[in-house]
């Protein structure tokens, strides 16, 4: 099974198997990160910088702003979904993520 992942519209979307699946303007809560001084960063997504597959995880580096402290930046790799038998399952953005 292969899964094809890329960004569209200058990073406004993550496309999986040619379907738009994840969009910007969502909050992603990050723990164990070095994005900003907050213990848990609430990052409002402005763009997806890069996407990649570390099977079965689909990962992205997020460009955004922490709404807690205002820090702008790019996150480490965050798991945004999983590929299981060629199907894509998104994670819940508001759950807590642990960037690698």
Which residues here bind Zn ion, judged by CB under 5 A? Answer: 36, 38, 41, 66, 68-69
Question: To the nearest whole angstrom, how small is the minimum distance from the Cβ of residue 60 to Zn ion?
Answer: 19
- The residues, ordered by sequence, that sit 6+ positions from 22 with a Cβ below 8 Å of its Cβ are 13, 14, 16, 48, 60, 80, 81, 90
CB of 23 to Zn ion, least distance (A): 22
84-100 burial code (b ≥16 CB/10 A, e <16): eeeebeebebeeebebe
For the chain, what's the residue count? 100
The nearer residue to Zn ion, 51 or 78, going by C-beta atoms, is 78
Nearer to Zn ion, 69 or 96 (CB): 69
Spatial distance between the Cα atoms of 32 and 23, rounded to a whole number of angstroms: 23
Q: Quick one: 59 or 65, whose CB is closer to Zn ion?
A: 65
Q: How far is the CB of 13 from Zn ion (least distance, A)?
A: 25
Nearest approach, Cβ of residue 42 and Zn ion (Å): 7
Smaller CB separation from Zn ion, 16 or 63: 63
User: Is the CB of residue 63 less than 8 Å from the CB of residue 49?
Assistant: yes
């Amino acid at each position: 099974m292969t899964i094809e992942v890329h960004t569209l519209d200058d990073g406004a979307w993550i496309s999986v198997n040619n379907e738009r699946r994840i969009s910007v303007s969502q909050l992603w809560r990050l723990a164990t990160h070095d994005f900003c001084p907050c213990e848990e960063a609430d990052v409002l997504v402005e763009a997806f910088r890069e996407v990649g597959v570390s099977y079965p995880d689909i990962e992205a580096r997020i460009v955004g702003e922490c709404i807690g402290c205002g820090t702008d930046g790019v996150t480490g790799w965050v798991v945004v979904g999983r590929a299981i038998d060629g199907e894509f399952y998104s994670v819940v953005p508001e759950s807590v993520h642990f960037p690698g």
